[in-house]
Amino acid sequence: MSRYKKVLIVIFIGLLIFSLARAILLITNYDTFSLYSFGDIASTFVGGIRFDLSIFLTLFSPWIIFLLLPIRNIIFHKIILWCVFVEYVVIGFVLGTDVGFYIERGRHITNDFLLLGNDLGYILVLIPSYILPIILVTIVCVVLGYLWSKFVNIKLKPDLKPMPLNFLIFIIIIPLLYIPIRGNLKFTPINIIDAFDKDTTLGNLKLNGVFSIFKHNGQGVIDLSQYNFFDNATAQSIVDNFTVSRNKCNTDVIEKLSKKGVNIVFIMLEGIPAELIYSFSNNNQGLTKNIDNLSLKSIKFNNHYAPKRLSISSMQAVLTGIPPISTLPVIGIGLESYFTGNIGQIFVDNGYNTILIQGATRRSSYVDSISKSLGFQQYYGKEDVPIILDYKDNDKAYYGWDYEALMFLLDNLDELYAKDKKPFLSFSFLGTTHPPFPELPSEFALIDKETDPYAGFKNTIIYTDWAIGEFMNSIKDKPYYDNTVFVISSDHSVATGVTTKFPYDQLVPLMIYSPSMDKTVDVDYITTHLDMSQTLYDIAKIDNVSKVGSLFCKDENSLAMIFNGELVTMVTGDGHASITLDKIISSNLQDNSTARLEGFQNYLKAYYQLIVSKFKK
């Protein structure tokens, strides 16, 4: 038998082990998966091979490389093949444990596997209770080991090719292993989020526990029990003391905007702080004339904060209402294994068409897969958007051209409305204002780079503001315009050109515009992106209470949280305090009493607990 055939057999057996685990998962959870057709299950099994092959080659590639080496040494090959067998046993153990975990918890193991060390003493005590299964597994391993020995002892077929040719073949094959490890030919490799392209249940069947553990490993140990600080009733009571109850919301504002079947267009700017927008800061730089004009007939939130200076964290906050807790994975890199609320699907279930567009490439930050996991029906990235204007270098806009993205959105909204007249929910994540800043047409390069070190950023803001103006002017003539609410915000602020100090440099613009409004409504209480998902449900009159509050359910006592690892800065109307779950780091609050600071700590604990309590355990 040739070494190439032996390698193919090694890979085939590995994939067989993963497929067997998937079949056992299917059988043991038959009630869950019986709702799907045979075609859905079959395609999920086929789709799972991509994840199986990726993690298998990641873990077994050293042995495969050794087996492919053109070395004619029988003992060397036998040692490598027995190493392969040992790893098969370990992989089988992990997959078996994962199936049992799924039966109990309804999700795959992630970093939970790393927590076993915390309970090692307890596990050792349990061993005598499982002595029979342990003996049976040992016997199976011995029998499989005996069969494996037959394979190991099959002699390698003499290779008559010249040694230089064998090395050339080896050099050609090794890089090819990298492609299935990445799982695609795109910029970013496959991740957990890519399994959830239809729904959560089939996504879990497509995944395997080894892949899930490996991809979560970089997120740190995730022990959800660490967030059990109070009984749930006490935790809810603590949070309620810091929030406005649903029956005391600003119903006047809600009624101006909300109704069944209203269209929602959400435009998320990239990195533009409130300080650089005149209507939010009274600066005289004249960068945002179109946004400022819109603000004259908008609800304008003057103290709105992003939770973190990171786009994906803001996307997570807006779309899920979940904060960037330091010990939890972010959306696109594991959060979807815990979280079950899919905003796109909720709107679809309430009769909406849904679409998500981002200026960057489809795969950037896994947003293509995030959109699917959240239930959006359509998703587009930079590759899909045709260029309209005459730019000097299209490719230098690494995060896309905002004008083209918005015009592309408009074309798609027209098609959606013409198709079935259903209301729509659209999210657009723009990107031209993301560094490195592209060279703009001359009509937008109004600020001289020689006199202003931030000219590149500010000129892109002028361009993006113009693009929004063109979009709004074009959409005014559409039959659905009068029934549409427009939400414009920024994912986070940047330090570029900003003079305010932390935490007020984290302020971002937020306005909600409706053709039915005739004046500005200024909202001065503190709000945050974490309030956004419930606000969208309120606007559409969808009966779904998310994990956090609504923009319309705030008052002068409301606060925002800015996250930096374990450190959380609580921003209030009279200052801010930086705390962790067990330490008070700093405070400049007017009321700086110990009782108040400890109250903030208890709020943070209770808030985390209520967020995590909604997760799959």
Same domain, 182 and 264: no
Same domain, 249 and 237: no
Same domain, 498 and 449: yes
pLDDT band for position 529 (50/70/90)?
Answer: very high
Same domain, 517 and 566: no
Q: Are 279 and 288 in contact (CB under 8 A)?
A: yes
Tokens 């395609």, residue?
Answer: 43
Cis peptide before 324 (omega within 30 of 0): no
What distance in Å separates the CA atoms of residue 385 and residue 368, rounded to the nearest whole number? 14
Q: Which tens digit of pLDDT belongs to each residue from 458-500?
A: 999 999 999 999 999 999 999 999 999 999 999 998 877 778 8
Q: Are 401 and 389 in contact (CB under 8 A)?
A: yes
pLDDT band for position 127 (50/70/90)?
Answer: low
Same domain, 384 and 431: yes
- C-beta neighbour count of 104 within 10 angstroms: 8
Residues of the domain holding 228 = 223-243+558-617
Backbone angles phi, psi at 296, to 5 degrees: -70, -15
What distance in Å separates the CA atoms of residue 617 and residue 615, rounded to the nearest whole number? 6
Query: Region 363-385: what's the mean pLDDT?
Result: 92
Q: How many helices (H) and strands (E) does the chain have?
A: 21, 14
Query: Region 247-276: what's the mean pLDDT?
Result: 85
Same domain, 296 and 427: yes
% of the chain surpassing 90 pLDDT? 49
Name which of 534, 152, 112 is nearest 334 in CA terms.
112
Q: Which residue has the higher pLDDT, 237 or 118?
A: 237
Picking from 516, 538, 557, the residue at the C-terminal end of a domain is 557
pTM: 0.77
Q: Going along 448-604, which residue ranges are E strands? A: 484-490, 510-513, 521-523, 527-528, 560-564, 567-572, 575-579, 584-587
Same domain, 484 and 573: no
What distance in Å separates the CA atoms of residue 158 and residue 109, rounded to the nearest whole number? 44
Picking from 511, 531, 557, the residue at the C-terminal end of a domain is 557
Which DSSP letter does residue 335 get?
G
Picking from 515, 530, 557, the residue at the C-terminal end of a domain is 557
Q: Which tens digit of pLDDT belongs to each residue from 303-343?
A: 999 999 888 889 999 999 899 887 787 888 777 777 666 89
Number of domains in the chain: 3
Q: Which of 31-35, 42-46, 69-73, 96-100 has the highest mean pLDDT?
A: 42-46
Same domain, 227 and 281: no
Same domain, 252 and 156: no
Same domain, 325 and 349: yes
% of the chain surpassing 70 pLDDT? 90
Q: Which residue has the higher pLDDT, 441 or 495?
A: 441
Same domain, 209 and 293: no
Same domain, 212 and 257: no
What are 423's two structure tokens?
């209301």
Q: Which tens digit of pLDDT belongs to each residue from 560-569?
A: 999 987 789 9
Tokens 């700017």, residue?
Answer: 269
